[in-house]
Amino acid sequence: MPPRKSPSKPNPPLPSKNEQLEPYRMHQEDTVLTTDQGIPISETDNSLKAGLRGPTLLEDFHFREKMMRFDHERIPERAVHARGAGAHGYFQVYESLERYTQARFLTDPSLKTPVFVRFSTVGGSRGSADTVRDVRGFATKFYTPEGNYDLVGNNMPVFFIQDGIKFPDFVHSVKPEPHNEIPQASSAHDSLWDFVSLVPETAHMVMWLMSDRAIPRSFRHMEGFGVHTYRLVNAKGKATLVKFHWKPVLGTHSLVWDEAQKVSGKDPDFHRRDLWDTIESGNFPEYELGLQLIPEGDELKYGFDLLDATKLLPEELVPVQKVGKLVLDRNPDNFFAETEQVAFCVSNVVPGIDFTNDPLLQARIFSYLDTQLTRLGGPNFAELPINKPVCPVHNHQQDGFGRQAINTSRANYHPNSLGGGCPVLANPKSAFVHRQERVEGHKIRARSGSFADHFSQATLFYNSLSKPEREHLVAALEFEVSKVEREEIRERVVNKVLVNIDRDLAVRVANAVGVAPPKLGKQPESKPVSKLTASPALSQLNTPHDSILTRKVAVLVADGFAGRELAQVRKTLEGMGAILEVVGPTLGPVASADGGEEKPLRTYQTASSVLYDAVYVPGGERSVATLKKVPLAVDFVREAYVHCKALALSGAATSMLDAAGFSTPMAKGLDDSLGVIRSAKNETRGFGQMFAKAIAAHRHWAREAPGPA
């Protein structure tokens, strides 16, 4: 059902007997929305702005109360992004960007700027699993010579809402439902889809959430986005609008849904462990910083408003310029002191970077700082080692919980003479100066008409995906919406949201979740304003597939395996940067057919194909005969095949496919069809190279079972 209208009677009914006995139990049916002070509120979807596209006003007491109350809901874990993993590293710009900005870390190519990066899931608690379907946070703290700069983004370029005043509503809807605290770290429940079906601006982000982007292979294979449009300002005061991107050097790759669910059970710390192990091994994760640069004045040029956080700027319209590299090369020494206590604040900017009037960004500027007061016990969180700037800090702030600095001056005010006037004001040429912008308009709670198109970019994203990616998105919607108990919510999702994105998509989901499909000829509620119908850059199929660096390969063995063949394949794959892990019946030595031995790292009881990128079974009659009798070993091959991963089988091991239930004819010699590398003989020349090529492809979707027509 849609939201209730305001009751016609101005006076609330008298409290019932139960309410008199329990005065603190709040029943909200047939009531009017108020502030905590009881002031009636008629609008809670738009913050108070200076004009339709102007900045949010500080006097908006309803917005500040609503956001303040939300910021302080959780003690001590984060209200959102509670589950995270972090790493230290550095950033270095390729060439000076002084044409666009005066920020030193972007203008001095000789400077290696220290950074701390925290990756996270959004919805789950600290104890939830890594591989749930969710947005991932990608937050970077730059310790620059001019102060800390925090680029706080996600692995998706858009967000669910346009105005920050709706953020508490959205997060409440996606969190576990309040009556039973179920489900954890999942969006497949009534309250989220109730919200989505009633708030059409969520449509674009929902498509990203249902896509493979919501289940990344690892943090190392995940893009990052600043989401909002910011400003770069050069030394002459000239501004350029900018969107920030992080591009992983290894490409952008994902898990498949069945695999992600199984990984949650096998290793709930899968992403956290992967990041830690990769850095410890010296295979440092790398990302390139990309910028989309837009002249001021062009914010409405592309058929949508650049201040709208539910929209992305297609790379085909404005290419991403890669300007520098981020390298993560050191793990934290203490998880709590660093990863848990790091405090990112969107308001932390340096000279040369400034904000825009994006109403979601304006809310975040307030919200992050406000949140840290509760999480970290007071206003001195910037003095914690992980948050402390590398440059000198001098001001008149004093006292409060957790104060670390010991000030010796008698003067704690400005201006002063007792302290020699210190600290003195900085030269405006080197200080942060807010970009001068003409702002005028009526104080108003409303949404600009330039924010009105909610569906065309959702359609653009859907059209931009490869066929396998679209099938995965449809399957995700069918899974999620089928979990919704109330039929009227399922109907609204189909007939108010999905039909406006793609009618065939809506019909397929409707049939799967038991509601009537939309009628033929139904027109979308909003007409697209951009002529671009697809953006190939949005498909992960178009990401780099040319490296097997850090890819993990499971090697299945039992006594009698082909040792020389394994040695040759290992030499080839490890020479290209892959990691081979031998899996055996026990952790004891396993003898090869030629007198050698291998000591397994894992057993069939503790490992699974879902923890690896590829599976290799060396030949050897005796070894393969044993493996066929081990159901978990057969499952290794079966699951790897079902999940479309690279498989390598040689000699007698080619019969493992038959044991797994996949009887496929094999051509003479090497066979590389569908990413399954098979050789009738051991030690066939070129076997390792073909296997490496298959691993680099990430997945072989031609093996995937087709969805319903």
Q: Which residues pair with 556 in a beta bridge?
A: 583
Catalytic residue among 148, 154, 155, 331: 154
What is the C-alpha radius of gyration for the chain, rounded to an integer number of angstroms? Answer: 28
For residue 326, give every residue at least 6 positions away whose Cβ sits within 8 Å of its Cβ, in sequence order, or none.
89, 90, 91, 115, 117, 140, 246, 286, 287, 288, 289
User: Residue 148 catalytic?
Assistant: no
Q: How far apart are CA 278 and CA 285, in angstroms?
A: 8
Strands 590-591 and 676-679, by their bridges, are unpaired
Asked if 146 and 233 touch (Cβ cutoff 8 Å), the reply is no
Which residue, 534, 468, 522, is CA-closest to 494? Answer: 522
Which residue, 134, 124, 202, 163, is CA-closest to 367? Answer: 163
Query: Phi first, then psi: what are they for 36, rounded to 5°?
Result: -65, -20
CB atoms inside a 10 Å sphere around CB 514: 11
Alpha helices in 16-77 (DSSP H): 17-21, 61-71
Q: How far apart are CA 564 and CA 24, in angstroms?
A: 75
Asked if 612 and 552 touch (Cβ cutoff 8 Å), the reply is yes
Asked if 117 and 358 touch (Cβ cutoff 8 Å), the reply is no
Q: How many CA atoms lie within 13 Å of 267's alpha carbon, on the beta-carbon side?
A: 15
Structure tokens at 571: 């030499």
Work out the burial of residue 16: count CB atoms within 10 Å of its CB; fewer than 13 is exposed, 13-18 middle, 19 or more buried.
Answer: exposed
Asked if 270 and 263 touch (Cβ cutoff 8 Å), the reply is yes
Place of tokens 């085909």: 316
Q: How far apart are CA 331 and CA 342, in angstroms?
A: 14
Structure tokens at 110: 């000789």
Which residue, 245, 253, 250, 330, is CA-closest to 289? Answer: 245
Catalytic residue among 62, 81, 204, 472: 81
Tell me the residue type at 236: K
Q: How far apart are CA 577 and CA 579, in angstroms?
A: 7
Query: Phi first, then psi: what are they for 513, rounded to 5°?
Result: -110, 10
User: Residue 154 catalytic?
Assistant: yes
Find the angle CA(461)-CA(466)-CA(469) to the nearest 5 degrees.
Answer: 80
Structure tokens at 706: 């087709």
Alpha helices in 202-339 (DSSP H): 203-210, 257-266, 270-280
- Count of H helices and E strands in the chain? 17, 20
Which residue, 80, 27, 26, 37, is CA-closest to 62? Answer: 37
For residue 535, give every residue at least 6 positions away whose Cβ sits within 8 Å of its Cβ, in sequence order, or none.
314, 315, 316, 460, 461, 464
Which residue, 138, 143, 173, is CA-closest to 157? Answer: 138
For residue 281, give every residue at least 6 positions away whose Cβ sits within 8 Å of its Cβ, in sequence order, or none.
550, 579
E-strand ranges in 394-477 read 443-444
Q: How far apart are CA 490 and CA 496, in angstroms?
A: 10
Q: How far apart are CA 27 and CA 270, in angstroms?
A: 42
Return the active site residues: 81, 154
